[in-house]
Amino acid sequence: MSIIHADRITKVFNPRGKGAVTALSELSLDVREGEIFGLLGPNGAGKTTFIKVLLEIVAATSGTAQMLGAPIGNSAAKARVGYLPENHKYPDFLTGAQVLRYFSKLGGLPSDQREQRITDRLRLVGMEQWHKTKIRKYSKGMMQRIGLAQALVNDPQLVILDEPTDGVDPLGRKEIRDMLLRLRDQGKTVFLNSHLLSEVELICDRVAILNKGRLIRIGTVKELTTQENTYRIGVEGTLPAELRLQWEATRVSVHEENGELVCALPDLAALNAVIDQLRSAGLLIRSVAEKRQSLEDMFIDVISREEAQ
């Protein structure tokens, strides 16, 4: 079942003015029940706008979406969503526990469950010893933890997190990742926005890549990173011009870098074919090394190809 279903969502800010900005362009995607889904993209790609459209903080210019089986805007469905906004701010004279109390009241949590739930969430995010400290004394990392506790205080079925690990130190990030994995184990669906690819790679079941409001890739991390592997081949000798032409004609991507050939190839058979061609041309192979693409490599590759168009 789709927990989020978006169908050709477009958002244009200031449509009539000179400063019209197309933040989202015909974005369609599905988030499945029980998965951790990452929406990735450079700053300004439209990630936050998409979340705001889902939560009706911003109205889409066109397109439709459903969340938890209801059209967006349905308040019963929204009550089952937890949301951590980007750069969230709470009144800084409140303590961490007071923030959670406030949000649990807003969410309609019965008062006899309230204190137990607040204690539980503070413990979950490792903030129990700071519950009486005012927010204004919190570090960025502590603010993110309280924000996460806030997003979870009403026991939501879907958790939407906008840059959850922003400003958090490496250990804190690991703890947040583990927390998200535990949420998934409990059957929750997690939708997160991030520009931190190396982290997303570690926990997301599926990811979508957004650039300038357009969806450019969607799939599992494995699907997106193993299509092309890069091999570096060290050779002795001069590369004949015919071989270059042959590669160009057959769309084999090879270029020279620091005296090595760098080839982006789909599989081992393609690598061996290139090696055979090199040896038939009288070159000697000195070394062959494989570099599997990380999500970050793939991302930079895809975005720079887009920019070049």
Ligand X SMILES: Nc1ncnc2c1ncn2[C@@H]1O[C@H](COP(=O)(O)OP(=O)(O)O)[C@@H](O)[C@H]1O
Residue 45 as a binder of ligand X (CB under 6 A): the answer is yes
Torsion of CA 144, 100, 35, 178, to 10 degrees: 50
Half-sphere exposure of 70 (CA within 13 A, CB side): 11
What's the min distance (Å) between Cβ of 58 and ligand X? 7
Q: Least distance (Å) from ligand X to the CB of residue 149? A: 23
Which residues within the stretch 66-105 sit at the binding site for Mg ion (CB under 5 A)? 86
By the rule CB under 5 A, 48 interacts with Mg ion: yes
Here's the x/- map for Mg ion, 209-228, by CB under 5 A: it reads as --------------------
**Secondary structure of residue 225 in the 3-state scheme:** helix
Partner interacting with residue 102 (select from Mg ion, ligand X, none; CB below 5-8 Å by kind) = none
Binding-site member from 47, 101, 145, 173 for ligand X (CB under 6 A) = 47
Helix (H) or strand (E) holding 242: helix 241-249
Spell out the SS3 assignment of 266-277: CCHHHHHHHHHH
Cβ-proximal residues to 178 (8 Å cutoff; 6+ apart), any chain: none
User: Residues 16, 17, 43, 116: which binds ligand X (CB under 6 A)?
Assistant: 43
Name the residue nearer to ligand X (CB basis): 57 or 245.
57
C-beta separation of 159 from 188 below 8 A = yes
Chain residues binding Mg ion by CB under 5 A are 47-48, 86
Chain residues binding ligand X by CB under 6 A are 13-14, 21, 23, 41, 43-49
